[in-house]
């Protein structure tokens, strides 16, 4: 077993003078040798603040250079970083800190956030800020200790808790996903097995996904460091700046959500010349709509392209190489045994070939989480007899592939008919006047739910009649046609670029009610 620290230290032994991390704001860069010293210095500083092995420490930080160092240093100390989305409101972040019984926090010097965390943590627990913060906090700079004070690294218990990552909470309160040390290898190595990433200093990764997300941390940061590569921090995703960074640094690996690729292709400075250095394109987090997938594949001809399906709990369950033309097709990942179970049935109750069911993933794989932090009832809901219930609808196809059709919870039931948003979205996405579309069910007295399309127009806004005509002329069954269209300037998304369906549903409901009134 290699832990995260093992992977960094082994890379440092192989390539001490190679650049490990580059900051996009300051251009600060650290060689692997320097990175190890920084990690030890911060780890020693955290120890001096009273933090130690086994302590769960909240990191509530945006994508900063310091964020990467803090995560690696807490881990080096034997503490457990609990990676909380910095976009949460102070009271929400504090709620997670309380729920997790955390021993300290590292955050931005934001007064409201620091106050909420201090009120929640036990008296005297350290709150460390990246920059000068309110009284009673310690700045990260002041918190560097003597790197030589750190005892040599000892390999921990493989089952021991290494990291707490949070579910996106698009449908409820985020849950703390406890990731053990033994999960690291599999969470990183699939990039080689399934996405064709070769070991070597040529790897230059643009950190598109946030560091607090499983993909941002294990595949972005660790996907660079474990492979002797260089991680280029992306503190905010600005497509124009990202295009410049790709060209300037000769980025070889782009791993983002479909929204990132949508943004890159729409950037005014996008050109084939600028992305010449890119060898590998990986996307995850959501299915990429067919038309976008075709455009991305055409923009990156000859590159290795992979669709990765995963969840924070099991990491990478399914994948599909060269997905163009098959946006919803998947295969089990190299460490994943999967099953399609009857919806509402037991995990032993398997759906037939071609029948829709819930995707179940073998939870005995090393990459699997230990459970949700202090939420045994939530763990019991998702884990049954060694299987993890994903909550995603899948169908087994004859050739061994699977089709994933979205979340069980997102399925719309209208007049007793089931409608999958993805099918309606895929149809509408082909309309030239639509930049983005999300289809959801809005409650309705007569039909139970009606199919509603939430549209972000691209260029001139098409009329509802035009979109309805477009659907009628398509292969979409009549009952699947949206009964209403609501136009939005932006589709609300969380920091990991997942659509905030609950927010969107409320907004759509409000817009439709005011239209009726
Ligand atoms: P999270 O744990 O926040 O990363 O969310 C995991 C969920 O995102 C999965 O259960 C799927 O619903 C969705 N998801 C992730 N990757 C993909 C993908 N490549 N295709 C379709 N859905 C995906």
- All domains of the chain in start order, with CATH: 6-12+32-155 (3.40.50.980), 412-516 (3.30.300.30)
For residues 499-504, average pLDDT: 89
In angstroms, the CA 7 to CA 369 distance is 20
Which of 185, 177, 164 lies closest to 79, judged by CA? Answer: 164
CB proximity list for 97: less than 8 A, separation 6 or greater:
58, 82, 84, 105, 117, 120, 121
Cα(311) to centroid of ligand 1, in Å? 6
Mutating to test ligand 1, I would choose from 83, 84, 288, 311 the residue with most ligand atoms within 8 A of its C-beta, which is 311
Q: What separation in angstroms does the CA of 21 have from each of 25, 181, 307, 356, 509?
A: 12, 23, 26, 44, 45
Most confident of 160-169, 267-276, 417-426: 267-276
Distance CA 345, CA 348 (A): 8
Q: What's the pLDDT band for 172 if we cut at 50, 70, 90?
A: low
Q: Is the pLDDT reported for residue 502 higher than 80? A: yes
Which atom of ligand 1 lies closest to the CA of 288?
20
* Alpha helices, DSSP H, located in 1-120: 4-14, 32-48, 65-77, 90-99, 111-120
> What average pLDDT score do residues 8-20 get?
98
Residue with the two structure tokens 């900063």: 64
Give the Å distance between the CA of 313 and the centre of ligand 1: 11
Q: Using alpha carbons only, what angle is made at residue 213 by residues 208 and 407, rounded to the nearest 5 degrees?
A: 105
Query: How far does Cα 335 stand from its chain's mean position?
Result: 20
- State phi, psi for 21 to the nearest 5 degrees: -135, 140
For 293-305, what is the mean pLDDT? Answer: 97
What mean pLDDT is predicted for residues 355-365?
A: 96
Whether pLDDT at 173 is above 90: no
Which residue is listed with tokens 């292969």? 475
pLDDT of residue 406: 86
- pLDDT, tens digit, for every residue of 230-269? 999 999 999 999 999 999 999 999 999 998 999 999 999 9
Instruction: Say whether pLDDT at 135 is over 90.
Output: no
Whether residue 304 contacts residue 196, with contact meaning beta carbons closer than 8 Å, is answered with: yes
Q: Using CA atoms, how far apart are residues 359 and 343, in angstroms rounded to an integer?
A: 9
**pLDDT above 70 covers what percent of the chain?**
99
The minimum-distance atom of ligand 1 relative to the CA of 283 is: 19
Nearest CA to ligand 1 atom 6: 311
Mean pLDDT of 388-402: 95
pLDDT digits (tens, 9 = 90+) for 71-80: 999 999 999 9
Ligand 1 centroid, distance to 165 Cα (angstroms)? 15
pTM of this prediction?
Answer: 0.91
Asked whether 436 and 504 are in contact (CB, 8 A), the reply is no
According to DSSP, the β-strands at 304-311 and 315-321 are antiparallel
Q: What is the mean pLDDT of the chain?
A: 94
| HEC-encoded secondary structure of 467-501 | HHHHHHCCCCCHHHCCCEEEECCCCCECCCCCECH
Expressed in angstroms and rounded, the spacing between residue 440 Cα and the centre of ligand 1 is 17
DSSP helix/strand/coil, 78 = coil
- pLDDT tens digit string along 449-462? 899 999 999 888 99
Residue nearest to atom 7 of ligand 1 (CA): 311
Reported as a single tens digit per residue, the pLDDT across 330-346 is 999 999 999 999 988 99
Question: Over 70: is that where the pLDDT of 311 sits?
Answer: yes
Cβ distance 254 to 239 under 8 Å? no
Q: Which residues line ligand 1 (CB under 6 A)?
A: 167-168, 284-287, 307-312, 390, 392, 404, 407
H or E stretch at 264: helix 258-266
Q: Report the pLDDT averaged over residues 396-424.
A: 89
pLDDT at 408: 87
Question: What local confidence, expressed as pLDDT, does residue 368 receive?
Answer: 98
Residue 464 CB coordination number (10 Å): 15
CA distance 216 to 223: 9
- Which of 285, 328, 390, 407 should be mutated for ligand 1, with most atoms under 8 A from CB? 285
Rounded distance from Cα 513 to ligand 1 centre (Å): 31
Q: What phi, psi does 506 have (nearest 5°)?
A: -65, -45
The pLDDT-based confidence of 171 (bands split at 50, 70, 90) is low
In which band, very low, low, confident or very high, does the pLDDT at 409 lie, cut at 50, 70 and 90?
A: confident
């Amino acid at each position: 077993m290699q832990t995260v620290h093992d992977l960094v230290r082994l890379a440092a032994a192989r390539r001490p003078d190679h650049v490990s991390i580059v900051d996009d704001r300051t251009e600060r860069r650290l060689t692997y040798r320097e990175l190890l010293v920084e990690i030890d210095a911060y780890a020693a500083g955290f120890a001096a603040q009273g933090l130690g092995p086994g302590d769960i420490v909240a990191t509530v930080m945006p994508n900063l250079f310091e964020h990467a160092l803090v995560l690696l240093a807490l881990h080096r100390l034997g503490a457990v970083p609990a990676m909380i989305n910095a976009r949460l409101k102070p009271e929400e972040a504090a709620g997670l800190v309380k729920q997790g019984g955390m021993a300290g926090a590292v955050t931005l010097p934001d007064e409201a956030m620091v106050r909420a965390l201090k009120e929640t943590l036990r008296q005297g627990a350290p709150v460390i800020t990246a920059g000068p913060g309110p009284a009673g906090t310690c700045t990260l700079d002041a918190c560097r200790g003597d790197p030589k004070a750190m005892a040599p690294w000892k390999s921990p218990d493989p089952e021991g808790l290494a990291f707490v990552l949070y579910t996106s909470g698009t449908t409820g309160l985020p849950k703390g996903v406890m990731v053990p040390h033994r999960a690291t290898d599999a969470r990183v190595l699939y990039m080689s097995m399934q996405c064709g990433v070769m070991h070597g200093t040529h790897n230059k990764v643009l950190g598109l996904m946030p560091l607090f997300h499983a993909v941002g941390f294990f595949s972005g940061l660790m996907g660079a460091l474990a492979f002797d590569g260089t991680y280029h921090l992306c503190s905010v995703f600005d497509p124009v700046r990202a295009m410049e960074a790709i060209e300037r640094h000769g980025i070889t690996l782009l791993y983002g959500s479909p929204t990132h690729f949508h943004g890159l292709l729409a950037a005014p400075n996008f050109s084939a010349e600028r992305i010449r250095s890119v060898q590998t394109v990986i996307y995850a987090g959501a299915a990429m709509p067919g038309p976008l997938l075709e455009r991305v594949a055409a923009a990156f001809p000859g590159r290795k392209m992979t669709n990765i399906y995963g969840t924070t709990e099991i990491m990478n369950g399914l994948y599909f190489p060269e997905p163009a033309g098959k946006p919803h097709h998947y295969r089990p990942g190299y460490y994943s045994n999967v099953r399609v179970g009857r919806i509402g049935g037991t995990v032993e109750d398997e759906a037939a070939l071609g029948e829709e069911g819930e995707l179940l993933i073998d939870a005995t794989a090393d990459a699997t989480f230990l459970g949700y932090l202090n939420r045994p009832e939530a763990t019991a809901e998702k884990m049954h007899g060694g299987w993890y219930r994903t909550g995603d609808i899948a169908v087994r196809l004859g050739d061994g592939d699977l089709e994933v059709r979205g979340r069980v919870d997102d399925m719309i039931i209208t007049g007793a008919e089931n409608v999958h948003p993805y099918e309606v979205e895929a149809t509408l996405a082909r309309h030239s006047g639509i930049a983005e579309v999300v289809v959801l069910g809005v409650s309705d007295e007569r039909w139970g739910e009606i199919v509603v399309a939430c549209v972000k127009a691209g260029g001139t806004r098409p009329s509802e009649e035009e979109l309805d005509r477009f659907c009628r002329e398509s292969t979409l069954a009549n009952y699947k046609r949206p009964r209403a269209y609501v136009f939005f300037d932006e589709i609300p998304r969380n920091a990991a670029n997942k659509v905030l369906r609950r927010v969107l549903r409320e907004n759509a409901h409000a817009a439709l009610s005011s239209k009726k009134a």
